[in-house]
Amino acid sequence: MILEDKQVLLFDLDGTLVDSAPDLAAAVNQTLIHLGREPFPEATVRNWVGNGALMLILRALSGDKDVDPELPQTLVDNALAVFLDFYAKCVCDKSKLYGNVKDTLLALKAQGYRLGIITNKPEKFVAPILDGLGLSGIFELILGGDSLAERKPHPLPLYTACKWFEVSVDQCVMIGDSKNDILAAKAANMDSIGLTYGYNYDEDLAVHQPNHLFSDFRGLLSVLKGIQEPA
Ligand SMILES: O=C(O)COP(=O)(O)O
Ligand SMILES: [Mg+2]
């Protein structure tokens, strides 16, 4: 079923447009080694991505997706600061666009859609990644995990984007790889498209019932047909 009357496409970043896990895992492991701890395989760290930098570090210090509630605050503060420093130095070293992302984004833009990014990643890292991967200038709005008082799965970033683009919730679609994206869309009463190749804690994204689910980014073109010019 075609998603009619859409004007604005809101994209998640990590796991949707960019495979950023190699650089995130490198910075997490540099942090752990700096603290005298054991590193984890990239495949493990990948499943901890999705709720922003602080949660990534809490999971890394806990060695598990479920955070140890007893972690000392000073350790957490120090580890987060060390991680942010390491990540700033390698933010786009090994990160790559997923297949068909750039061509599809350009095709959607050419069809008249306006594009934004809503990520849980700290905002300051987004522009260097987009620049490094040849996507600068494509997105009109970037909201990071620290841009507002709430982040996905809370609907606030989605509402904020609607307001910024001066469109209604019905005119937007949220596109992402994680349940946080789909749950935020549902909470905002917005349509959503899921992508199965990213990071979703090794869980099945279909459970959250996005309007459409694709294993290839190019799938978007089959349900978004471009903006109709007024007659
Ligand atoms: O950095 C994260 O934790 C997740 O970022 P995302 O919202 O772009 O997937
Ligand atoms: Mg994501």
Nearest-atom number in ligand 1 for the CA of 52 is 3
Tens-digit pLDDT string for the chain (231 aa): 899 899 999 999 999 999 999 999 999 999 999 999 999 999 999 999 999 999 999 999 999 999 999 999 999 999 999 999 999 999 999 999 999 999 999 999 999 999 999 999 999 999 999 999 999 999 999 999 999 999 999 999 999 999 999 999 999 999 999 999 999 999 999 999 999 999 999 999 999 999 999 999 999 999 998 787 666
Is 85 known to sit in a ligand binding site?
no
With the most atoms of ligand 1 within 8 angstroms of its CB, the residue from 11, 12, 183 to mutate is: 12
Q: Which residues contact 110 (CB under 8 A, 6 or more apart)?
A: none
Cα 79 to averaged position of ligand 1 atoms, centre (Å): 19
Cα 231 to averaged position of ligand 2 atoms, centre (Å): 38
Domain 8-19+96-222 has CATH 3.40.50.20: no
CB of 179 shorter than 6 A to ligand 1: no
CB of 19 shorter than 6 A to ligand 1: no
Question: What per-residue confidence (pLDDT) applies to 229?
Answer: 66
**Annotation says 12 is catalytic:** yes
What is the C-alpha to C-alpha distance for residues 135 and 102, in angstroms, rounded to an integer?
Answer: 7
21-90 folds as: DNA polymerase; domain 1 (1.10.150)
- Listed in order, the ranges of the chain carrying CATH 3.40.50.1000 are 8-19+96-222
Cis upstream peptide for 122 (omega within 30°): no
Nearest-atom number in ligand 1 for the CA of 20 is 1
Q: Estimate the crossing angle of helix 179-188 against helix 156-165, to 10 degrees.
A: 60
Question: What per-residue confidence (pLDDT) applies to 230?
Answer: 63
Cα–Cα distances in Å, from 117 out to 73, 76, 206, 210? 31, 28, 22, 18
Length reported for the chain: 231
| Paired strand residues for 118 | 143
- Listed in order, the ranges of the chain carrying CATH 1.10.150.240 are 21-90
User: Do the interacting molecules here have an ipTM over 0.85?
Assistant: yes
Cα 23 to averaged position of ligand 1 atoms, centre (Å): 13
Which H, E and C letters describe 38-95, residue by residue?
A: CCCCHHHHHCCCCCCHHHHHHHHHHCCCCCCCCCCHHHHHHHHHHHHHHHHHHCCCCC
Question: What per-residue confidence (pLDDT) applies to 141?
Answer: 98
At position 16, the amino acid (one-letter code) is: T
CB of 182 shorter than 6 A to ligand 1: no
